Amino acid sequence: MNQKNYDRKQRYGIRKFAVGVASVTIGAVVFGVNPVLANEQGNSTVTAAENNNQGLSELPKEVSSGSLAHLDSELAGKLATAKDNGVEVDQDKLKKNETTEAETTTPTNTPAADNTPAPADKPETDSATTEASNKDQDKEEEGVLPRDYYARDIANATPVVEKEDVETNAKNGQRVDLASELNTLKKLQNATIHMEFKPDAKAPDFYNLFSVSSDKKKDEYFTMAVLNNTALIEGRDANGAQFYDKYTDAPLQVRPGQWNSVTFTVEKPTAELPHGRVRLYVNGVLSRTSLKSGHFIKDMPDVTHAQIGATKRASNTVWGSNLQVRNLTVYDRALTPDEVQTRSQLFERGDLENKLPEGAKISEKEDVFEGGMHNQPNKDGIKSYRIPALLKTDKGTLIAGADERRLHSSDWGDIGMVVRRSEDKGKTWSDRVTITNLRDNPKASDPSIGSPVNIDMVLVQDPETKRIFSIYDMFPEGKGIFGMADQREEAYKQIDGKTYQILYKEGEDGSYTIRENGTVYTPDGKPTDYRVVVDPVKPSYSDKGDLYQGDRLLGNIYFTSNKTSPFRVAKDSYLWMSYSDDDGKTWSAPQDITPMVKADWMKFLGVGPGVGITLRTGPNKGRIVVPVYTTNRTNHLNGSQSSRIIYSDDHGKTWHMGGGVNDNRTLYDGTVVDSSTMNNYYAQNTEASVVQLNNGDLKLFMRGLTGDLQVATSHDGGLTWDNNVDRYDVPDVYVQMAATHTVQNGKEYILLANANGPGRKNGYIRVARVEEDGQLTWLHHHLIQEGEYAYNSLQQIGPDEFGLLYEHHAPGGVPYTLSFKKFNWDFLTKERISPKEAKVKYAIQKWPGIIAMEFDSEVLVNKAPTLQLANGKTATFMTQYDTKTLLFTVNPEDMGQRITGLADGAIESMHNLPVSLAGSKLSDGINGSEAAINEVPEFTGGVNGVEAAVTEEAPEYTGPLATVGEEPAPTVEKPEFTGGVNGVEPAVTEEAPEYTGPLATVGEEPAPTVEKPEFTGGVNGVEALVTEIPEYTGPLATVGEEPAPTVEKPEFKGGVNSVLAASNEVPEYRGGANFVLAASNEVPEYTGGANFVLAASNDLPEYKGGVNGAEAAIHEVPEYKGETKPVLAAANERPAKKLSLGQGATYQAPAAKQNELPNTGSKENTTFISLGLVAGLLSVLTFGKKRKED
């Protein structure tokens, strides 16, 4: 503890002692003395004889054991080893009645050592600032603790500006003027701005929280603001130049209509930070770091205004909104991530505990394909499994398919196509069966990519022949879709009506061909003595493509580096097929179906992984349909991806290409695109899942770049698609999704599974009703898997039962493990039983005169509440301990009284629920038990022959402590995660260069960040976002909820919910719902999602991912490793921080006011009074919660 805080808390203890604050009682807590036994009257006294030659009694069980429900250990720890001005009091010696000579020491001004950075460059403060900074100290010296005492427990950080309990509304022009603080703010080099606020539920799209600005230069300002719920910062110099990297697409959002905290820190340049650093936190979680500069208000020479809310920019006032501001504090240094977490701890929140309704069922997670941990392979030598495919066969067998990625989780290298089977609906699974795994190039120049690639599987069964097909992508050795040749290489040649694969020979220009039995023919049609294995026989068909000359193995035609074979195939993408006729137990050798379906203009052709379907009705009944997507050779992944299907009408003997969704498609503005030639970023659609409706239509659920769900419709079995692509208010975070069709109770529905975000996190199952016109009405959505979640596959496995195979991994796991869950229709459609109010779990006396009231969900005190008791008395609020616990003082004689309500003040729910105190009672023991009794009279009888009650003391509680459900509070530190996001290679630890590569849709690759063409088409024609905070030229709103109006709306350049072009300036949002910000060249440091769960760790995690899975540059803060919460409805909130009674997280109660002093004047009290005086002097120990040892 630093000297300042020690002295402050000591002064508080002395003041309380001086006015009669529990000198004897606190001494009793310190030393374990109980002056009034539980079986005695309140005015009983303790005789000298009772204490002569006796050691002090044991601490009460609930103190000595540390068993204080979810409260942590500082009380027990501090009381067991009390300190008075630096002299340690040995509790054990006291208990043994050993005398210890204590030397009197004089406190010095030297602060105790701690790990908190010393303040740097503290500015001079004027009298007003000094008065503000001493506000809390004055309160404490007057015997009043701040309402958030523990959240303010930050060492060596001086508030230089502080405002509490102000509002911006119509009465004050939505603005609180802070001009008197401007000179103080201009002196800061290192600083923290912390703001606690509650916006309106329908706040404007853009509004300011705190800002400084100029009455001369409208583009010279600093703002901490909110855009479409995303917290951001922006600073500009006198010329309007940006100080910081872009924050408009920072990942963390505030919760509209709820209490939030946003914290900004700035640090000047140092040797370690040559340009300085700024950070932005939302509700205590680091959202983004910028190393561009450490500029701040001191670098804005012309600023003349400081304000909360509406901002004066030159002659205009802009960016206003209605805000409730609980606190604005500016500190004289940059708080550390841990300190920001402490300061914001009351704004953490978890999910409301929802219970499943009767009949709703969901199984536990079963890991079917288990990936490695901590960058190490699993027991079978496999690092990663990816790309799930789940099929229910006609026999009821479940077949789970996967990419088995031996070396890493990337989309290239040694990948096998594998399956496992379950004949009991997923309870147990067979050993792995390998469909195919081509052998590695033993001399590859890069072993990590030194294998021909099979990737992305679709499973589908023909209901008539019972044959099961597996169709998957194939690439020669290299980086798959990212290693294709720039120029087209012809892959096949027609000769005498037959199609043969072309081989390219080193040093020659002609095209060799592979003909019957694998014999290689010369360009002029002559057979050679070279032979290619086209009918492989080795396990996993690993010898497919091996090249022999006579009986000598030369190499493999799919190898491309350091080849020992003179031949290779075209560097192109291929589509292969295997099949099983025994319910998935064995599989045929791969067959190349590429020449049947791939057109010359197609650069890439790949499947939409998961499952296909067989049409069950209509003129094309029996048609096997498999979703695929393509790119053209002009723009490849940057603007030409298009969803489509391939199909077979002859039970899989031949295959044909269906129409593309973007074939001859007219966009809303009249622009016509075609998949063979298009270059339109926003009109792209990629991996898809296909279903058939009862009316015969096909629905294609497509991964896209607009941030919401795109669905295409075909009326002819996939040959053509409607020009209009339906858009639904369902999140699409640019990752594969899975859909299936079902009929329940005579009605038709679609089930959709996908990641809800942020990024590839939080898997949801959604239910849509199919209307008569084929449109979808979305009814329900439920979280199926928290945390990491990417690709998935969904099947109906019973009349009202469904199975899901999906990608997930725990912290430290290699992306990914493929897990299985099953659930029923009631789980999907019945509403959860959710809390209707925040209730008191218990109100117990933890220490003499101090009640801890814990609620079942997070609450917040703004106006100090006073509890009304049934006997007409009251209990007084002290402070808020954590997100669920409030501390009150109470008279001893009021213990056992019921709480009837609030006499004054308020308690607010962080979930906006009503708060109920009904039925709660002041109890003097944990869980309502009676207080500890030191002397129990012997019981010699009984009632009706019943034996006497046993008087043994209850055993000490040694179990875990919890604040949420049954989960114990973690006490270990988590190792730093050094990988990327969603399985990308480990992130580099230097600043990331601008990404100029292609857009990836296979596996982990992210959306591109290359320059995007101006989009003049799109759907629904929403106006564009401007790339600068607009100047407000109209009047301020002065009535109710109305935000400050905006003017001059520029032309929209994107589509609905379009991706915003990279920019360092704050745009004014003018679009519609589900606006999605762009993939940018700046790398965000966020690991989870909006409003996600914080990992149990001493270090605050920082996001290291990119946009939709791109690798991140790690600046310096350990990556977030916890699981995240979903964004929809009430499920987007963080759980309460769990506190431990172990080391590193401690609790100490603040001193409570004693309502009466012990009786005096009795001869028998002499010894007791002496002990009381000693106890009183020692009672000045610190009663504050700390997270680090003194």
Can 411 be counted among the known catalytic residues? yes
Answer for the pair 724, 759: CB distance below 8 angstroms, yes or no.
Answer: no
Phi, psi angles (nearest 5°) of residue 169: -155, -170
DSSP string, 559-628: --SS-SSSEE--SS-EEEEEEESSTTSS-PPPEE-HHHH--TTEEEEEE-SEE-EE--SSTTTT-EEEEE
CA-closest candidate to residue 878, choices 1137, 1153, 1182, 1187: 1153
Whole-angstrom CA distances from 474 to 38, 416, 606, 695, 1183 are 80, 11, 9, 35, 67
The first and second tokens of residue 515, run together, are: 């003909």
Answer for the pair 1099, 1117: CB distance below 8 angstroms, yes or no.
Answer: yes
Q: What is the CA radius of gyration of the chain?
A: 35
Residues 6+ apart with CB under 8 A from 548: 530, 531, 532, 533, 554
The distance from CA 1008 to its chain's CA centroid, rounded to whole angstroms, is 23
CA–CA gap between residue 284 and residue 274 (Å, rounded): 26
The first and second tokens of residue 1133, run together, are: 């909130």
Q: Counting Cβ atoms within 10 Å, is residue 346 exposed (0-12), middle (13-18) or buried (19+)?
A: buried
Q: Check 249, 687, 708, 856 and give the catalytic one.
A: 687
DSSP string, 626-645: EEEEEEETTTGGGT--EEEE
The amino acid present at 618, given as its one-letter code, is: G
The SS3 assignment for 51 reads helix
Can 1190 be counted among the known catalytic residues? no
Place of tokens 């699981």: 1123
Answer for the pair 151, 345: CB distance below 8 angstroms, yes or no.
Answer: yes
Dihedral class, residue 8 (left if φ above 0, else alpha if ψ from -120 to 50, else beta): alpha
- CA dihedral for 1089, 1094, 1095, 1099, sign (positive or negative): positive
Q: Please, what is the Cα angle at 1128 between 1124 and 1132, to 5 degrees? A: 40
* β pairing state of 260-267 and 277-282: antiparallel
Whole-angstrom CA distances from 7 to 115, 139, 141, 430 are 19, 15, 11, 68
Beta partners for 782?
765
For the chain, what is the largest distance between any 2 Cα atoms, rounded to a whole number of angstroms?
Answer: 125
The first and second tokens of residue 461, run together, are: 């069964």
Question: How many other C-beta atoms can be found within 10 angstroms of the C-beta atom of residue 469?
Answer: 24
Residues 6+ apart with CB under 8 A from 561: 441, 443, 444, 445, 446, 450, 477
User: Helices 23-31 and 1166-1178: crossing angle, nearest 10°?
Assistant: 80
Question: How many other C-beta atoms can be found within 10 angstroms of the C-beta atom of residue 47?
Answer: 15
CA–CA gap between residue 225 and residue 248 (Å, rounded): 10
Dihedral class, residue 381 (left if φ above 0, else alpha if ψ from -120 to 50, else beta): left
Residues 6+ apart with CB under 8 A from 659: 644, 714, 718, 719, 720, 721
DSSP string, 783-829: EEEEEE---EEEEEEETTEEEEEEEE--TTBPS-EEEEEEEEHHHHH
Q: Check 62, 74, 411, 592 and give the catalytic one.
A: 411
Q: Which residues are catalytic?
A: 411, 687
